[in-house]
Structure 1
Amino acid sequence: MKKVILAFSGGLDTTFCTIYLKEKGYEVITATVNTGGFSPEDLKQIEEKSKKLGASKHYTVDAKDRIYEDIIQYLIKLNGLYEEDYPLMCADRYIIAEEILKIAEKENAEAVAHGSTAVGNDQVRFDGSFLSLNSGIELVTPIKELGITRSEEMAFLAERGVFVDHVYTKYSVNQNIFGITVSGTEVDENKEPDEGAYQLTKKDGNAQSEYLTLEFSEGVPSKLNGQKLPGIEILMKLNSMLGKYGYGSDIYIGDCIIGIKGRIMFEAPGLLALVEAHRKLEQLVLTKKQIIFSRGAGAQWADLVYSGLYYEPLVKDLESFADSVQKRVTGTVTIKADANRITVVELESPYSLVRKDIAMYAQKACWSAEEANGFIKLHTMQQQLAGIKK
């Protein structure tokens, strides 16, 4: 009997996959990789459900720290928002795939499986990861291969005495360590979602303006309000500290891997604040050429990660560049939080390129007027010559 490791959330799709794969003669081992969307109680219930469905074994893997170390820290270092907007909240799929393959190796399993459909981006991220990391393993995708609807899944399960509480909700909500994404209803219809769509960024009308300090060390957050904390804890604390101001949500329309346009609402106050603070600190400590090159590197990295190409060698090349250029991105950023926004109001760094002893913008400088005139003449020489030819 072949063993298959099924990425299992306990929802309708993976419940169907468990029963279906058993009927196809597989020994089903389920695995839940927690990327920040499950509480301890959720995980306990998922494990119990797996046993009731007849899985031979169940694994629970906490991958939150891995996601921060492998992906989020580079998103911050490279200011890596996909199409300058979306904070790559889908990138946990790569870590899920890696953890599934680790379990497959441990169990000597011949196959891996997931519950993605044929109409979304996740099929590319999951299948591409499995093919890139272990091309010899069998990949089983029941929902995708059958083209089955959710109603048909429920009917299939009911015939076998398995009933899934599939309660209709207005919005489809997904959460991980990055934040929350919301789709469905008005979001899909290019309309404004109602207040019920928001969770992390529900505005507290009593929240007063407040100042926060973030310290960065070589491009990654190391302290919040003077307290040294792991970066992942800083991220989670900022979600609650800034979300109450209504900051950190956006509605994004962008280019999907499969060639269509997609619209999604997301909430990521902590991550967006870290990227903004980091970007402002870079303006203080990096040269113009470094900043321009970094923009292109960040855009390329984000495009690859979004597009199912996390294992393209260029990703690691860009991350190596980030590690190098970030060596001087160390300092303190003061943020003012207000209704619906944050503002970086103060910056301090031992590597600041703003030097009062060299110059103060529009006030004084260590060069003479004659030297300035000579520079201007040479700096604008080509445009002067071009003007003569008109």
Structure 2
Amino acid sequence: MEKVVLAFSGGLDTSFCVKYLKHEKNLDIYSAIANTGGFSDDELVNIEKGAYDLGVTKHVALDVTDVYYRNCIRYMIYGNILKNNTYPLSVSSERIFQAYAIVDYARKIGAKYIAHGSTGAGNDQIRFDLTFQIIAPEIEIITPIRDLTLSREAEIDYLKKHGVVKDWKKMDYSINKGLWGTSIGGKETLTTNETLPEEAYPSQLQKEDSEELVIEFAKGEISTVNGESFATGIDAIRKIEEIGSAYAIGRDTHVGDTIIGIKGRVGFEAAAPLLIIKAHHLLEKHTLTKWQMYWKEQLSNWYGMLLHEAQYTEPVMRDIEKFLDNSQENVNGKVIMKLHPYRFELVGIESDNDLMNSGFGDYGEINKGWSGDDVKGFTSILGNQLKIFNKVNKGSLDIN
């Protein structure tokens, strides 16, 4: 029997793939979950048990959390990246690193095939296929759900036929968990006028009061949370997620253009990403120049779009990362936030690099580094181009 490595999550689609690859393709199935930081040890144990119950030959958990943080999450923080000003790329950003881990494992065991459970109507099929084709062209790709154009009901019927007993109600929602947030898909996200119910979110509201959260950054990376230091940025993110998710912060629905050209909706919860990005962005407003902010916004937008559309291996991504690295030199200081059920406020910042504390002047109050005559002369020269245009064109602007 030839070996196939199945990218396995334990959900409906990958459960179907195990039975299909075994009974219809007669393949020796090695399942692998590439963990990007979203699973506890207990959850990984349950996923492993589920894989063996389905009949895989071997199951492994591949931890890519550190690689994912160092090579991607850092830059999404530096770039304040929110797709369509909403979505922190919770799932789309992690797929490349999962794909690399799957390829490494497939080569290690000498697998002829790699399989994944993506449908034919989403982005993940492109992300996985493209990455596999680029870094492992010698390995063939099998995609049962996509190739058979299966509905969830058809998958469930097939699994029942092969004796699989599960709580099918729990599979009403497709949930993808990672360090940088959790995506949630269900019947509501297939519509344009319904939202996910409360029970669809993995994290439920636990706190009704309010509390202060202080995140400190050093060169753009989190250094402390409420005064507590952490060994890694990963640990700091987990702490912020623990604090923020208790308030059910970070829930929303992303609406966007898919790689294949159709519109799509997906729900998500991402307390830590939203809190961190908004805090980091506020600190940058105080510590970066106007043109640093401007060009960061342009390049970060492109970085997020290319990352979302599976273009991580494009060399320009490394170029943008160098720019983002360099931009963080003075992004140091504390950001004070106030957390409430389902929402948060940005209170303010404390930083030695705060450009508001330059002593040149207080906005709207008093000028210290220049005189009134300086402003008059500056304004006169600033208006020259428009004065010339309006004189030549005899005041062509009509605002009536």
TM-score, with length taken from structure 1: 0.92
CA shift, 1:165, in A, is: 4.1
1:368 to 362, 368, 371: 371
Matches within 5 A, 1:200-215: 200=203, 202=205, 204-205=207-208, 207-208=209-210, 210-215=211-216
Query: Do the aligned residues in 2 keep the contact of 1:110 with 1:137 (CA within 8 Å)?
Result: yes
**For residue 4 of structure 1, what is the aligned residue in structure 2?**
4
Q: What pairs up with 1:340-351 in 2 under 5 angstroms?
A: 340-351=342-353
The answer for the alignment partner of 1:73 in structure 2 is 74
Please report how far the alpha carbon of residue 201 of structure 1 lies from its aligned counterpart in structure 2 after TM superposition: 5.7
Q: Does 1:59 align with 2:60?
A: yes
Residues 221-274 of structure 1: CA distance to partner in whole angstroms, max 9, x if unpaired?
Answer: 111111111222222222232334443222222112221111222211211111
Summarize deviations over 1:136-183 as a string: whole Å, max 9, x none.
211111221222333433444444444444235654433222222223
Please list every run of at least 4 consecutive aligned residues from structure 1 whose deviation after the TM superposition is greater than 6 angstroms. none
Which residue in 2 is equivalent to 1:249?
251
Deviation at 1:327, TM superposition (A): 1.5
Q: Is the 8 A contact 2:212 2:339 kept in 1?
A: yes
Between 1:275-284 and 1:6-15, the stretch displaced more is 6-15
Partner Cα separation in structure 2 for residue 273 and residue 341 of structure 1: 10
Deviations 1:168-200 (A, max 9, x none): 565443322222222324343322443323443
- Work out the CA distance in 1 between the residues paired with 2:35 and 2:11: 14
Residues 280-304 of structure 1: CA deviation (Å, up to 9, x unaligned): 1111111111100000111101111
1:176-187 map, 5 Å: 176-187=178-189
User: 1:16 maps to which residue?
Assistant: 16
Q: Which ranges in structure 1 are unaligned for 5 or more consecutive residues?
A: none
Check whether the contact 1:200–1:239 (CA below 8 A) recurs between aligned residues: no
Contact kept, 8 Å, 1:84 with 1:299, in 2: the verdict is no
2:134 is aligned to: 132
Distance, in Å, in 2 between the alignment partners of 1:191 and 1:257 is: 23
Q: 1:261 aligns to what?
A: 263
Q: What residue in structure 2 maps to residue 378 of structure 1?
A: 381
Of 299, 302, 305, 1:300 maps to 302
CA RMSD of aligned residues (A): 2.2
Quick check: 1:12–1:164 contact (8 Å CA) kept in 2? Answer: no
CA contact (8 A) 1:180 1:200 kept: no
Distance 1:30 1:144 in 2: 19
In 2, Cα distance between the equivalents of 1:40 and 1:290? 42
Asked whether the 8 Å contact 1:154–1:163 carries over to 2, the reply is no
Give the residue type in structure 2 aligned to 1:188.
L
> Aligned partner of 2:349: which letter?
L
Q: Percent identity?
A: 37
Greater shift, 351-360 or 115-124, is seen at 351-360
1:20 positional shift: 2.6
Answer whether contact 2:205 2:341 (CA < 8 A) is retained: no
Q: Quote the residue 1:195 is aligned against.
A: 198
Instruction: Map residues 231-246 of structure 1 onto 2, 5 A cutoff.
Output: 231-246=233-248
Q: Does the 8 Å contact 1:211/1:336 carry over to 2?
A: yes
SS of residue matched to 1:186: helix
Aligned-partner Cα distance in 2 for 1:367–1:168 = 66
Deviates further, 252-261 or 8-17: 8-17
Choose which of 165, 168, 178 in structure 2 pairs with 1:166.
168
- Residue 90 of structure 2 is matched in structure 1 by 89
Residue 66 of structure 2 contacts residue 234 of structure 2 at CA under 8 Å; is this kept in 1? yes
Q: CA deviation at 1:55?
A: 2.4
SS at match of 1:292: helix
| TM-score of the pair, normalised by structure 2 | 0.90
Give secondary structure in 1 for the equivalent of 2:355: coil
Per the alignment, residue 142 of structure 1 pairs with 144
Q: CA, structure 1 residues 173+48, in 2 after alignment: closer, same or farther (shift >3 Å)?
A: closer
Paired residue for 2:278?
276
Which one is further off, 88-97 or 347-356? 347-356
Number of aligned residues: 388
